[in-house]
Structure 1
Amino acid sequence: MTEHPDVIATRNAYDTVAVDYAALLRDELAGKTLDRAMLAAFAEHVLADGGGEVADLGCGPGRVTVHLAGLGLDAFGIDLSPAMVEVARESYPELLFEVGTMAALDLPDAALAGAVAWYSIIHTPPERQHILFAEFARVVRPGGWLLLAFQVGDDVVALRHAYGHDLELDAYRQSPDRIRSLLTDAGFTEHTRLVRAPEHPEKVPQAYLLARR
């Protein structure tokens, strides 16, 4: 199957910055109270429903994956970037990390009690995001949970230098209402929405949507 140019660009960019990205963001959650609160709420809902496997989709260097595991979840990570997966495996050898694409996950139907896409839908153009949500709905069991994080807006940010490297990467800011609509079309029901003010060095508000399959 031919890959879209944005998929290739995303992989190349994160392969380039993997080590520096991991070092810079390793402890970021420690200073983000509301981010941790949304992850904790997700974990509590999954555990209250009996637990099960949870996928961190677009896991990068594994910092959210290990946080989910620390909340008592059976968490593993999937990422498009082989270099990110290598960093994650080295950093957290006790957890499972695999290379894969969110648009075509190598998972059985209804395999997951929940999934997290933590700022990982942002590099997929809006016109193809419905493909991601349909795939999330396929792998999350009925009654299971999905947590999304993304930047709020309706524009695209062209990243040409980040984490100390030159790169070619676009990031799409999202409307929470539009994302809710896409989730509804895919078979999810919005449960909780949080939009918080930007914290340095963020430029725009940050959104978190918790939805149930």
Structure 2
Amino acid sequence: MYDVEAWDQWAKDRPGRQGTNAAGETTWFNWTIHPDHGPGVEVLGDIGPGTHVLELGCGSGGNLAHVATLGADAAGIDLSPVQARAAGGRYPHLTVHVADARRFLAASPALYHVVYSVYGASWFTDPDELLPLVLSTLAPGGRYAFSQNPPALPGCVGPQATQMKSPTPGEPLYVKRWDYEPDDWEKRMKEAGFVDVQARIIAPPPGRRAGTLLVTGDKSK
């Protein structure tokens, strides 16, 4: 698949998460691209033993590893085999599947208490396809949460092209992403059947320009 090649190359070029954060912790949850900034795992609600959690686009597994330390039954999926191997190599106790988010959710017999994505599949999958699948996979009262960049330019919303580095000289690779303003995300989430929806932009730390769009919504009980 064309997207797989792009994401494999991205994974090879991207440095892994540092060993510890500013507090000296070896696992932690970060919604933004800025280290030690913004809210943490509390966004997902009560996480602990008996909680079934799924990450869409888990990358090298840093956030998922922290969820697992809380006692949750945590699993992740990623389109890139390179990313999945990196996650398994660093966190061998994690369950990571190489899969497309839509196909995995459509075939999954499991119900999850939490589904989340951090700059992952939620950003790079058509929400008209993904949102109903997430909702159907959530247990009653379950939560869906995701983060991504806000739209790059005002009014530049909907499917956009993200240029990715090619593994060989020549034409770059591209993947699609879906950009919407917070109000648009709230509307789309509610239309898909989510309740208690909130979408907001987390301001960047001083001296940085990129904020983070964070969206949460629940399945009715």
Query: In which range does the TM-score fall when normalised by the shorter chain?
Result: 0.7 to 0.9
DSSP 3-state at the match of 1:56? strand
The superposition leaves residues 129-174 of structure 1 with CA deviations (integer Å, 9 ceiling, x where unpaired) of 2110011011111111111111111353532449xx9643344433
Match of 2:42 in 1: 40
User: Contact conserved, 1:161 with 1:167, CA < 8 A, in 2?
Assistant: yes
Residues 93 and 192 of structure 1: CA distance in aligned 2, closer, same or farther (over 3 Å): same
TM-score, length-normalised on structure 2?
A: 0.75
The amino acid across from 2:101 in the alignment is M
User: Contact conserved, 2:199 with 2:213, CA < 8 A, in 1?
Assistant: yes
CA distance in 1, matches of 2:81, 2:119: 18
The amino acid across from 1:57 in the alignment is L
Q: In the alignment, is residue 14 of structure 1 matched against residue 7 of structure 2?
A: yes
User: Contact conserved, 1:11 with 1:80, CA < 8 A, in 2?
Assistant: yes
Greater share of helix: 1
DSSP 3-state at the match of 2:102? coil
Match of 1:146 in 2: 144
Residues 192 and 129 of structure 1: CA distance in aligned 2, closer, same or farther (over 3 Å): closer
Q: In the alignment, is residue 158 of structure 1 matched against residue 162 of structure 2?
A: yes
* Cα RMSD, aligned residues only: 3.0
Q: In the alignment, is residue 91 of structure 1 matched against residue 90 of structure 2?
A: yes
CA distance in 2, matches of 1:13, 1:201: 30
DSSP 3-state at the match of 2:46? helix
Gaps in structure 2 of 5+ consecutive residues? 22-29
CA distance in 2, matches of 1:15, 1:87: 11
DSSP 3-state at the match of 2:65? helix
CA distance in 1, matches of 2:17, 2:36: 15
How far does residue 179 in structure 1 lie from its aligned partner after superposition?
1.7
How far does residue 66 in structure 1 lie from its aligned partner after superposition?
0.7
Mapping 1:161-180, distance limit 5 Å: 161=165, 167-180=173-186
User: Contact conserved, 1:119 with 1:149, CA < 8 A, in 2?
Assistant: yes
Q: Which moved more, 1:138-147 or 1:26-35?
A: 26-35
DSSP 3-state at the match of 2:109? coil
The amino acid across from 1:188 in the alignment is F
User: Contact conserved, 2:190 with 2:197, CA < 8 A, in 1?
Assistant: no
Mapping 1:123-138, distance limit 5 Å: 123-124=124-125, 128-138=126-136
- Asked which structure has the greater CA Rg, the reply is 2
DSSP 3-state at the match of 1:104? helix
How far does residue 104 in structure 1 lie from its aligned partner after superposition?
2.0
In percent, how many aligned pairs have the same letter?
A: 22
Q: In the alignment, is residue 118 of structure 1 matched against residue 122 of structure 2?
A: no
DSSP 3-state at the match of 1:117? strand
